[in-house]
Chain A
Amino acid sequence: MEKVLRDLPNYRPNKAPVKKTVKEIIYHIVGIVLSLAFIMPIMYMIATSTKNESAYAAGVGTLNMFLPDFANLGVAFENYGNVLLNYDIWKYALNSFIYAAIVIVLNILINGLAGYVMAKLTFPGKRLLSFMIIFLIVVPVETSIIPLYSIVKIMLGLKQEMSVLGVILPATISIFNIFLFTQFFQNIPKEYEEAARIDGASTLDVFFKVIMPLSKPILATVAVFCFIGVWNDYLWPSMILPSADDGSWPLLPIQTALISIKSIESITTGEIMASLVITSIPIFVIYVAAQKYIVQGFGTSGLKM
């Protein structure tokens, strides 16, 4: 075998293992430096969240800025405890989780059905709808936020309890998700459906029992998008929701609440950073957990615009 290989024109035996090790070391050093550039602000955020005001001030401008205050770990607990209990972050976080859960379920159902119809069924008027999908993806939504505001206000009236629907309902429709679903479903072979059809399944049965189980990657992608969209949105909720100060359960989601928490006069930098860390954790966990599916979702849907 060795002899045969040696006769090949491009055969290069393992003659320089040292060179390869050096290459590996350089690769990892470059990688570490680059990684630091990307997580530096996160380290700063986490480190500052463990400090009180004087430790923070002392650290500014030195390397300590990026290192937690190990001497005084009690301060860290104090910061996180204060933020969670005194400033009610946990209530706002719970709100965001509830909004996100409802939006994810409705969004997948509504846009998934639409994507399935666009991918698999033929009906008159389909060409108009597929043109509108591309058109509506291109139109920037921000341009119509004020008419949207008036429409939602008229629909829901001025009752405070109803304004929750104003946060949830507009988030349940996403043209981009319809586009993603359509692209994904188009690549599912017909045979799966035909087999179910022969067994007498209706279109809805096919969608729920055949298509959905085959679509885990795209479901995960859309669910993650929805969660992040709801979790990180602050402009729209701040317009539509009342900021209740009368001691009742607040309706604001976490990001909107964060803006007002940051402007509380007595709050310390450490406490602000602690609230930022808490706000980032769910998204980070979800991304790391669903990363494989997100890459698959993009890869298999063969995005073509």
Chain B
Amino acid sequence: MATTSIIIFALFLCAFGGFVAYDLVTAKRRKEVYRIKSSVTAYLMLLPAVALAFLFILLPILYSLGYAFTDYYLLQPDKINFVFLENFAGIFKEISAKGMLYNAIKNTVTFVIGVVPLQIGLALLLALFVNRPGIGSKIFKVCFFAPVVISLSITAFLWEQILAPGEGGLLNSMLSIFGVPPHDWLRDPATAMPCIIVLSAWQGCGYQMLIFLSGLSNIRKDLYEAASLDGANWWHQFWNVTWVGLRSTVVYILITVFIGACRILTQPMLMTGYMEHTVTLSYYMYNSGYSERLVGESSAVALLMTIFIGGITLIQRRLFREK
């Protein structure tokens, strides 16, 4: 692995050198002036970041890309064979046979479709709710934000108690006041994913609320005054002033929440374990790569997932780019 890494590093340097040469050649056409001294300073200042990013971010991604075409088994790093597209064939076989991977994809898609609108909508509503002067709204803001500061492992544990099966669970005992029989929320395939969606949105939305608030504070106040002088009602003001002003904030939040949602791993891992109805793509990858030690297969899934997330992110950026 060490020699391969050095070869990759050399290739990376060559590629970068190529781009530098290309930039130098086309500098005149692009009316760009490069100064030697300032360029050298720039490279030196970038050096630590580039070195670390190469070692801990780019190299692992490239390896994971390469492993996708091998039969790498974690405990036998000396016996790696190139198997070309076998892993991908296996993936499609497992998907068409509706195996664990099929469930992982289904659950991840369910989660993303559920949590993205819920979390962003909730965050926007809360931001609009607390965006006013007064001590009351300040206290509410801290309360709405409170779940964000609690780590996922703690929230997962707390919700486990809330959703616990039988009479002992918090939710069940509250519902029993209304005569609803106890329910095993996390084991029932119909309710497990919705529970995880609600708890994730509940936990995360305070953070997006803060970003929305900073977006709201950047909208000029006189626009609202002008709108109300024109006789615009609340909805018109929201749609024509607030929403337009929040555009770049919304794009940013949409992309970050979407990427975060696609990566969901901790909640199902801590709350239900490796189960058919809650396994997600990241969890599947973690399990097949680290627990079952089938790195090749895990990397193939990772590669497909990266292409998928990257593609959708690009589409989102295109769709919402400012016109």
Most central of A10, A140, A150, A302 by chain B CB within 10 Å? A140
Q: Which residues of B contact A123 (CB under 8 A)?
A: 34, 38-39, 42-43
Q: Which residues of A contact B295 (CB under 8 A)?
A: 146-147
Q: Which residues of A contact B130 (CB under 8 A)?
A: 31
B194: shortest Cβ distance to chain A, in Å?
17
Our pick among A117, A121, A259 for the contact of B153 (Cβ within 8 Å) is A259
Which A residues lie at the B interface, using CB under 8 A? 10, 27-28, 30-31, 34-35, 37-39, 41-42, 44-45, 60-61, 65, 109-111, 113-114, 116-117, 121-129, 132, 135-136, 138-148, 150-152, 154-155, 169-170, 172-173, 175, 178, 202-204, 207, 228, 231-232, 234-235, 239, 255, 258-259, 262, 272, 276, 279-280, 283-284, 287-288, 291, 294-296, 298-299, 302-305
**Interface contact A239-B38, CB-CB below 8 Å:** no
Which parts of B284-319 form the interface with A (CB within 8 Å)? 285-286, 289-290, 295, 298-299, 302-303, 305-306, 309-310, 313, 317
Task: Kindly report which residue of chain A lies nearest to residue B162, judged by CB atoms.
Answer: A41
Which B residues lie at the A interface, using CB under 8 A? 1-2, 5, 16, 19-21, 23-24, 27, 32-34, 38-39, 41-43, 45-46, 48-50, 52-53, 55-61, 63-64, 67, 74, 77, 126, 129-130, 136-137, 139-140, 142-155, 157-159, 161-162, 167-168, 170, 173-174, 176, 202, 206, 210-211, 213-215, 217-218, 228-229, 231, 248-249, 251-252, 255, 259, 262-263, 265-266, 282, 285-286, 289-290, 295, 298-299, 302-303, 305-306, 309-310, 313, 317
**Interface contact B57-A154, CB-CB below 8 Å:** no
Docked Cα-Cα span, A144 to B54, in Å, equals 13
What are 5 A-B pairs at a CB distance below 8 A? Answer: A28-B136, A31-B129, A123-B42, A234-B153, A239-B290
Docked Cα-Cα span, A228 to B148, in Å, equals 10
**Interface contact B149-A280, CB-CB below 8 Å:** yes
Q: Which residues of B contact A207 (CB under 8 A)?
A: 45
Do most interface residues of chain A lie in helix, strand or loop, or is the interface mixed?
helix
Task: Kindly report which residue of chain B lies nearest to residue A8, judged by CB atoms.
Answer: B229
Do most interface residues of chain B lie in helix, strand or loop, or is the interface mixed?
helix
Contact A139 to B61, CB < 8 A, known contacts A42-B146, A280-B149:
yes
**Interface contact B305-A140, CB-CB below 8 Å:** yes
Our pick among A143, A255, A258, A287 for the contact of B285 (Cβ within 8 Å) is A143
**Interface contact A140-B309, CB-CB below 8 Å:** yes
Q: Which residues of B contact A154 (CB under 8 A)?
A: 1-2
Docked Cα-Cα span, A291 to B139, in Å, equals 13
Docked Cα-Cα span, A128 to B20, in Å, equals 9
Q: Which residues of A contact B24 (CB under 8 A)?
A: 124
Task: Kindly report which residue of chain A lies nearest to residue B149, judged by CB atoms.
Answer: A283
B202: shortest Cβ distance to chain A, in Å?
7
Ranked nearest first, the 5 interchain pairs of A and B with the lowest CB-CB distance are: A143-B302, A61-B173, A147-B63, A144-B60, A114-B49
A37: shortest Cβ distance to chain B, in Å?
8
Docked Cα-Cα span, A272 to B154, in Å, equals 10
Our pick among A145, A152, A173, A235 for the contact of B49 (Cβ within 8 Å) is A173
Q: Which residues of A contact B67 (CB under 8 A)?
A: 146-147
